[in-house]
Chain A
Amino acid sequence: MKQSNYTVIQNGESCDVVDVPEVPFDAFREQLLQAVEDGAWIAALFAMPADRSTLRAFVILAHSHSGSLWLSSTILPDEFTALTPDCPQAHLFEREIAEQWGVKPLGHPWLKPLRYHHSYRKEKDCWDRKSSTAILPGVTDHFQVDGQEIHEVAVGPVHAGVIEPGHFRFQCHGEDVIHLEISLGYQHRGVERAMIGGPNNRTNHLVETVAGDTTIGHSLAYCQVIEALARTIIPARASALRAISLELERLANHVGDLGALAGDVGFLPTASFCGRLRGEFLNLTAMLCGNRFGHSMLCPGGVRFDADSDRVHNFLERFESAVSDVTDAINLLWKSPSVMDRFEDTGVVKIEDAIELGLVGLVARACGIEADIRSDFPTGIYRFTNISTATWHTGDVFSRAFVRWIEIERSTAFIRDLIKSLPQSEIRIALEPMEPNKIAVALVEGWRGAICHVAITDATSKFAHYKIVDPSFHNWFGLGMAMRDQQVSDFPLCNKSFSLSYCGHDL
């Protein structure tokens, strides 16, 4: 691997934009394919206007073994050879670039709109649509299987339950699903475009609502980007309180999902216990900052709310009681043959497929991939306190449930230790001014997996570009794979075992 074509930085660092090598497209493509073959994964791949007529594409390649991030770029021609046929994990990134900037990745096997909006460059459109034509979400050529006994099931965007919208097309032979295609974009609300020109009054709040269930995860990534650009190191106590908030978010969501999984197989005790217990962890977050999802807890430079010893004492008391109830509730799952029968061998994703598709987070770990930003690219308090990576090898619903349980155990131990020994320091310091013409990258292990934020500043230190990659962006296609050869009725269970974000994908 030629390192000369890359600039190497660590997680939570920045470098000058001019130092990111600009490689001719063919060489860019070649080196990207080589790096992925050598074990790197694409943390972000995006394009932005270099000037009025040219586009510059950037790639952030994450090397888990060395914990380094490799940055490279190229001037993107209007038509280029798609990466996806040789590198399936580029799939959605290429569709995103094509939709946003009207360029054509030639030979892309699944080139369709992603979020259903007009191109950001008026006269260019990947599908040659006119700017006056309305674009309707979900209207595209869906993958179809032909045959006399084939039928199609379409679900959404308004589907059962209190849930975000998406459109799902199942190609079925009897009850067996041959493939599921997922069409999103209904939640597209222009988050990334609104970030440009920031940071301003609203930037913090946009980041907190990228995915409401991952408020801490996304605001942590944002804060780390800002702090990298401002070369500010936050106080240790702030770092610890941030990590506690992040792990609480993981606990709340994992407990909630395990309850919902129990509900999906009709096992009501765990379903109803966990429904309440998820709320206990949200309430603990509210005990720290007043908001159940952690709004306004984090800010660039540290955190806004401290926990004195009385608060820590009360926190621990409620925390231990919740953890004890969670342990009882979740262990019922593993002891119930009817639950295990539904969990095991349902929705299997093979490790080879997971690697090739570039799946991240707990879904990847449930396929046996040992990857966790907290240990591979540690920042903040995770540099000093390790949480060992939880994996299981079966790739099925059980595996995704069980990895959640191991993570619950490890996060509880982590919070318990950390909150008892909070470092004595300030919780927030003033930021230095942000630096102009820089690129900064932050990776955070949110409860779903790797969150990546990339910011590029202009000459006035404002955001010239801001890229957000929610873990769901990497993982939605994995759900389609998990549904192959399953029954339609297994969909709710498989879907919940992935528990992906619609709004985090749609931005």
Chain B
Amino acid sequence: MIDILRARLKQGHRTISFPNQPPTLPDRFRGCPVIDEAKCVSDCQRCAEVCPTGSIIQVHSTKPQVDLGRCLFCTDCAEACPNDAIRYHSDYSMSSNQRIDLVVNANTEAGPLVSALKKESLRLFGHSLKLRQVSAGGCNGCESDTNVLSTITFDLGRFGVQFVASPRHADGLLITGPVKENKRVALLKTWETVPAPKIVIAVGACAISGGPFQNHPEVHNGVSDILPVDLYIPGCPPHPITILDGILRLLSRI
């Protein structure tokens, strides 16, 4: 017993003060990618060519746009850019309610923002949100970094958010993975089991767009075609702070 107390004293209080204070992130953290238009040469396609998931797209201009929903936040585009025009900004806040809002202009400094749930849902879930996590083909990266939200470091419980075992006890689903055909039925059954009103949070490039498994015949390229999504959280996997930030914004806590 004395050893337990001694260890407890030594380890001290370890819960981070986010969102009251900004999080500590590594200096090499890869948040929202930003393309410096001044450096970007218009007819160069190198970044788009090397992108593993087609996340760099060109719609109106010849200057690229980035689809955060497909981005794996790898360094392939930055490495391929002959002019050093791409860098990963330290912005960790990238979640969005609308799929389309994840497509950002190359020179946008801040990532897209989340608007909170509608008034009635917010009244119901704002102070107590129980989620059932469903792994639909995730590689266990998103699952792991969702799981850590329950550790003392992030202490998700202090916001009234909790992961529950039964979908019947849940207010919504937090889904990871590209949704493989082999998990589709189980996902739908889990969804049906959650009592209404209910929400869906799609975490990670896979759940948003299929991620690295995009267009494989075995997968469905994410959740959106199967269930209505209330919150998209990009990343491969998203940093726990990005996930926490998204959820807290949805609940109007940030």
Contact = CB atoms under 8 A, between A and B. Distances in A.
A52 interface: no
A209 B211 contact: yes
A269 B236 CA distance: 31
A467 interface: no
B212 A209 contact: yes
A400 B106 CA distance: 49
A175 interface: no
B128 to A, nearest CB: 19
A298 B61 CA distance: 34
A329 to B, nearest CB: 6
B64 interface: no
B125 interface: no
Contacts of A202: 52-53, 212
B42 interface: no
Given A157-B183, A189-B178, A332-B7, A291 B30 contact: yes
A444 B217 CA distance: 30
Interface in B27-76: 27-30, 49-53, 72-76
B48 to A, nearest CB: 10
Q: Select the residue from A116, A159, A325 with max chain B CB neighbours within 10 A.
A: A325
B135 A165 contact: yes
Interface in A264-283: 269, 272-273, 275-276, 278-279, 283
B165 A503 contact: no
Contacts of A293: 141, 144, 237
A275 B153 contact: yes
A116 B27 CA distance: 43
B183 A332 contact: no
A193 B219 CA distance: 13
B50 A201 contact: yes
Interface residues of A, number: 64
A291 B235 CA distance: 10
A212 B137 CA distance: 11
Q: Select the residue from A161, A186, A188 with max chain B CB neighbours within 10 A.
A: A186
Contact of B140 (A164, A186, A278, A304): A164
Given A286-B29, A295-B236, A503-B138, A205 B74 contact: yes
A197 interface: no
A329 B152 CA distance: 14
Given A161-B165, A189-B218, A286-B29, A206 B3 contact: no
Interface residues of chain B: helix, strand, loop or mixed (majority):
mixed
A150 interface: no
A283 B26 contact: yes
A290 B237 contact: no
A328 interface: yes
B212 A206 contact: yes
A275 B72 CA distance: 26
B131 to A, nearest CB: 9
A118 to B, nearest CB: 10
A94 to B, nearest CB: 21
Given A283-B26, A332-B7, A162 B147 contact: yes
B232 interface: no
A292 interface: yes
B118 interface: no
B115 interface: no
A110 B42 CA distance: 60
Interface string A205-230: 11011111101000000000000000
B180 A186 contact: yes
B124 interface: no
A283 B28 CA distance: 11
Contacts of A295: 72-74, 236
A278 B211 CA distance: 26
B7 A187 contact: no
B185 interface: yes
B109 interface: no
Contacts of A80: none
A128 to B, nearest CB: 21
B143 interface: yes
Interface in B135-170: 135-148, 150-153, 163, 165-167
A72 interface: no
12 contacts: A157-B183, A161-B133, A187-B137, A193-B216, A201-B50, A205-B52, A276-B11, A288-B28, A290-B28, A304-B79, A332-B3, A332-B7
Given A165-B183, A206-B212, A290-B30, 20 more contacts: A117-B182, A137-B182, A160-B165, A162-B143, A189-B216, A205-B53, A205-B236, A269-B4, A269-B8, A273-B7, A273-B11, A275-B148, A275-B153, A279-B153, A291-B73, A292-B237, A293-B144, A332-B7, A335-B3, A503-B139
